[in-house]
Amino acid sequence: MAIRLVEPAPAYLPSYRAALERGWSPDNVRLEETAREHLLRIAEDSAAFLAAFDDPEGKGPPVKLPDGSLAQRIPGFTRWIWDGDFCGSIGLRWQKGSSALPPHVLGHIGFAIVPWKRRRGYATQALAAMLDLARERGLDHVELTTDPDNLASQRVIAGCGGVLVERFRKSAAYGGAEALRFRIEL
């Protein structure tokens, strides 16, 4: 089945909320904390919650890193993966005029698929679509990081042209764990 990337909007919000309530999280580091934060923000002001997913100027509040420290936000946006129901999310981050990223940003693109819709090719389709959007922003390549044991993400990245460029240790803000960095030339 084909998916499409949709801008977070009120029509899709009940399905997104249901995924959070089922235990899914768009954040693979701060899983439960992020899910709780999103449910609270939806309850408080759903319009502001939805608007925060689109920040192409990087003017939003600082980003909370896994260790609780704050870092400057860079331009970016998130799209929801949709097959008639919520399937997951994918986000793109960049710096204007450069494909380089600041040290606190592990990659240009991050994605997460709900467990009950995995193994359908949705992440590969979503990443391929996001690469087109990265090209539109003038990027000549994107980098993605994954844990060494996350073979599913590695297959998705490789399936979209990703090449392993390094094995590294994440900064202390991310717990110092080992990670893999892939690059996709655009």
CB atoms within 10 A of CB 84: 9
CATH no. of 4-140 = 3.40.630
pLDDT in the model for residue 66: 86
CB 143 within 8 A of CB 94: no
CA distance 102 to 118: 31
The token pair that represents 9 in the structure block: 């909007």
Dihedral pair phi/psi, residue 140, rounded to 5°:
-95, -15
First to last CA, the chain: 26
pLDDT at 30: 81
Distances (CA, A) of 32 to 29, 55, 105: 9, 24, 21
Question: What pTM does this model have?
Answer: 0.95
Divide the 186 residues of the chain into consecutive groups of 10 and give the mean pLDDT of each group. 95 98 91 94 98 96 90 97 98 95 95 97 98 96 97 98 97 93 98
What distance in Å separates the CA atoms of residue 127 and residue 48, rounded to the nearest whole number? 26
Q: Which residues contact 121 (CB under 8 A, 6 or more apart)?
A: none
Contacts by residues 16-25 (CB-CB < 8 Å, ≥ 24 positions apart): 16/80, 16/86, 17/42, 18/86, 19/86, 19/114, 22/114, 22/116, 24/88, 24/112, 24/114, 24/115, 25/112
Q: Which of 29, 28, 26, 24 minimizes the C-alpha distance to 173?
A: 29
Which three-class secondary structure state does DSSP give residue 3? coil
According to the model, what pLDDT value does residue 1 have?
80
| Coil vs helix vs strand at 57 | coil
Which residues touch 160 (CB under 8 Å, ≥6 apart)?
A: 124, 127, 128, 131, 184
